[in-house]
Amino acid sequence: MLIKLLGVRGSLPTPLRNQEYRQKLRGVVSEAIRQGLEDETQIDAFLKDLPPHLGQVFGGDTTCIAVHPASGEDIPYIVDCGTALRPLGDRLMEGPCGRGEGKVHIFFTHTHWDHIQGLPFFKPMYIPGNEIFFYSPFDNLESRLTRQQIDLFFPMPFEQSASTKHFVTLKEDAPIRFEDGTTVDFFPLRHPGGSFAYRFRRDGASFIFATDCEFTGQDLERDRADFEFFLNADLLVLDAQYTLDDHFSKFDWGHTSITMAINIACKWAVKNLVLTHHEPAYSDAKLFENFKSAIEHKRALQVERPRLYMAREGMQIQVGRRAAGTTEDDARADSASAGSALEDSGR
């Protein structure tokens, strides 16, 4: 399976502001002076070696991921419809979806706005002939999505978009099995209004996406059997919106601290952990500092696993016959944002 992280911000879209952009520019220029950059032939190598908070952005789009069961060329399974769904839809229009021959499968963790607000801008939904399958444990998902697009809020009603729509209500202990060999099941999470984690399994590998959930010290004290769903996952992409200090003032808001995310992933023997749903108030520099603190916390626990990653818009992670790891999407930028690379570099 190839996992693509398309939107990694929590709560609301977070575009890069002029002030932060200028701070990045100042940092890049300062680094160029320090390294003695002399001519344009050195630029590419210089950019590849920039620290992550200067050489990339973590991203401002809200939650959306794509799960490609075989390669990056097929139509993926989609989880959540944050603002990153719009550019994904544009790419899908270049294939069968643009000809009205697409079949799209979308899973919803829940229907807070940052997880559905990209759907009205998803072009394949407006093309006759396309079939879109919507999956959720919520039995009223169709009415929720329809309500978002009433004329008070959007000019095109959901039910009038031209694609054919199918709604599938998921049931406990009844995994969905697709013809390509992918199996999907879910786990209820603690979040206002409810939320669900999804587990994708194929060829003996497992990937779990669990956003908008709150885990605390009480969960560390519970028996591992209570969380069998998560045990030994090859890859877990987990809500880690807050620093531990910020979480103290936001209990019951439905999100997990970075520290607790690492603690529970260790308890569950997760092999690879991606921290996601970044707090919109955190700048890229702050997120980079948070990630370095996360690595120090893992080192203090004296464990080898999980391998740590900080979710970045556009990051791709392979899970399956070979060990999970980032692919060559923006080569150095991704490897620098991956936990293993940051640990190995000693930064």
pLDDT in tens, 135-192: 999 999 999 999 999 999 999 999 999 999 999 999 999 999 999 999 999 999 999 9
pTM score, whole prediction: 0.91
Q: How far apart are CA 202 and CA 167, in angstroms?
A: 23
CA distances from 159 to 116, 125, 163, 252 (A): 15, 10, 9, 35
> Average per-residue pLDDT in the chain?
91
Average pLDDT (104-130) is: 98
Model confidence at 70, pLDDT cuts 50, 70, 90, reads confident
Average pLDDT (100-120) is: 98
Model confidence at 252, pLDDT cuts 50, 70, 90, reads confident
Torsion of CA 327, 332, 338, 339, to 10 degrees: 140
pLDDT at 344: 27
CA distances from 249 to 97, 124, 238 (A): 45, 41, 20
CA distances from 105 to 27, 52, 53, 262, 309 (A): 42, 33, 34, 30, 27
pLDDT in tens, 292-331: 999 999 999 999 999 999 999 999 999 986 555 554 343 3
Model confidence at 93, pLDDT cuts 50, 70, 90, reads very high
Model confidence at 343, pLDDT cuts 50, 70, 90, reads very low
Q: How far apart are CA 325 and CA 307, in angstroms?
A: 9
317: amino acid identity, one letter? I
pLDDT in tens, 264-279: 999 999 999 999 999 9
Q: Does domain 2-16+57-342 have CATH number 3.30.1490.70?
A: no
Average pLDDT (17-32) is: 94
- Where exactly are the structural domains of the chain? 2-16+57-342
